[in-house]
Amino acid sequence: MSSEPGKLRSDRGQAFTLEGVLAALIVIAGLVFALQAVTVTPSTTGSTAAPVDSERFNTIFAESADSGALKRAVLAWDDGFQGVTTGEDYFVDAFPNNDFGNGLNDAVRPSVAVNVLVHYRTGPDTVKSQRMVYNGQPGDGAVRAESTVSVFDGDRLYDATGNPRPGTSVQADGLYPGLSDRSTGSDLYSVLKVEVIAWSA
């Protein structure tokens, strides 16, 4: 067989140990891989509950459209949204003090951050966004909802709490930077899109 039994024995022992360890590793790796493949479902991805149900935002949009609160919030503009105290032209860490802003405020917990953007077309291919409320870049798991509101030539501009400013009109005083009357032959000024984004801050 061999002339060195001692050497054989130690080799054999090492080989056995190696085999044993490798086998154990293979078994464990196979088990982990196999079990991991089973439990992939949406509800077990480990994601936390959404910060706000997007249905809530859709309801707020529907109510604000119905009552005109959305239009009043969008038209509360005078070179910046009315009621802003920070020096920018949008709200930071606060909501507008009108019906739309109050509705949003009631819908979210204090730990949820919200952005409100107004998107509008400035040309055939260009779209600009005006911030109404801005609290930073949205994090993971952000919930979005949007709705449109049309603005007409003769619409009055509003103040911070939703009262009309007499003597003003969208056509005469203009609205967001770059926004112009999209159809001079009719009463429509533009169709704006309001987007609300909420995430857990």
Backbone φ/ψ region at 83: left (φ over 0), alpha (ψ -120 to 50), beta: left
By CB under 8 A, tell whether 21 contacts another protein. Answer: no
R_g of the chain, CA atoms, integer Å: 30
By CB under 8 A, tell whether 19 contacts another protein. Answer: yes
Q: How far is the CB of 188 from another protein (least distance, A)?
A: 4
Answer yes or no: are the C-beta atoms of 81 and 75 closer than 8 Å.
no
By CB under 8 A, tell whether 126 contacts another protein. Answer: no
> Segment near another protein (CB under 8 A), from 78-86, 133-141, 163-171, 184-192?
184-192
Q: What's the one-letter identity of residue 45?
A: T
Subset of 23-52 contacting another protein (CB under 8 A): 23, 26-27, 30-31, 33-35, 37-45
Q: How far is the CB of 17 from another protein (least distance, A)?
A: 13
Structure tokens at 168: 């003003």
Subset of 92-121 contacting another protein (CB under 8 A): 119, 121
Backbone φ/ψ region at 141: left (φ over 0), alpha (ψ -120 to 50), beta: left
Q: What's the one-letter identity of residue 22?
A: L
Q: How far is the CB of 14 from another protein (least distance, A)?
A: 15
